[in-house]
Amino acid sequence: MRDAVLAWFDASGRIFAIREARDPYAILVSEVMAQQTQISRAQEYWTRWMAIFPSLEALACASPADVLRAWAGLGYNRRAINLQRAARVVVAEYGGRLPETVEELERLPGVGPYTARAVAAIAFGAPVTAVDTNVRRVLSRLAFASGVVAPGDLQALADGLLPPDRSAAWTQALMDVGAIFCRSRRPVCDACPVRAWCQFAAAGDAERPARPSRSRVPFATTSRWLRGRILERLRDADTSAWTVFRDPIGGHDPAAITSALVAMARDGLVELDGQDSARARLPLS
């Protein structure tokens, strides 16, 4: 099965410039960006980011305001702040060299188990498997007809299947299989390189659990939408000037906006005027 997946990946895997990176810092940036963003879209932002902040030192020395402006369009803006915090830790504690072990990588701000394993495998060739949404779906369906497996068992399964000499290619190959063939809806089982070993495909449609329906909440009513509009306004403002938020934004009244500002300040996304919590700007340090 491993040989089939790797042979398919070598011949037909997705080609992205972002995957050509060999600098561990560049790989960390790519993996953080890809956490909530499709890799094809993240690539454009990654290229721009690396031109602005070409090294850990450059990122560590920048102002959070510049970091947040460079992140514009990617969403989940705490990722940008945590990435800079991680850069500052690496510069201060590791001499500017990204640590190589999963354990040390997980200690960095914003770096969870998946990102740590992806960086360790891709940047340093460590014998670990990174389990993202696509990989989780592939391995769960491969081993179980229901496609359901406990998280702890899944990581053990992933580690047991790893070819130790090609951890980077294996990680990227499983991601591609999940994105191209083993999709959450309408999987393309007949063309999938793991079809011959897949319990989910062998079980057929009758064994596949129905997907629960989810209620939809209008996005403009969510706090995430509001936080995004606040950051958009601050990105367009002068760096050191205070922006006043006293009027409603969408369906959010001033009280909701003030609450959002306080939460964003706690996350390091904005700086509040100590005399007036309705006045904010992007952080300067």
Distance CA 278, CA 259 (A): 10
Q: Are 13 and 172 in contact (CB under 8 A)?
A: yes
Q: Where are the beta strands (DSSP E) in 51-150?
A: none
100 is catalytic: no
Q: Are 47 and 74 in contact (CB under 8 A)?
A: no
Distance CA 281, CA 153 (A): 45
Render 225-284 in DSSP notation, one character per residue.
Answer: HHHHHHHHHHHHS-SSS-EE--S-BTTB-HHHHHHHHHHHHHTTS-EEETTEEEEEE---
DSSP 8-state code for residue 20 = G
Q: Are 8 and 173 in contact (CB under 8 A)?
A: yes
Q: How far apart are the first and last CA of the chain?
A: 50
Q: Is the dihedral of CA 271, 273, 278, 284 positive or negative?
A: negative
Distance CA 93, CA 78 (A): 22
**Which of 31, 44, 93, 104 does the annotation list as catalytic?**
31
Q: Tell me, what amino acid is at 283?
A: P
Please give the positions annotated as active site: 31
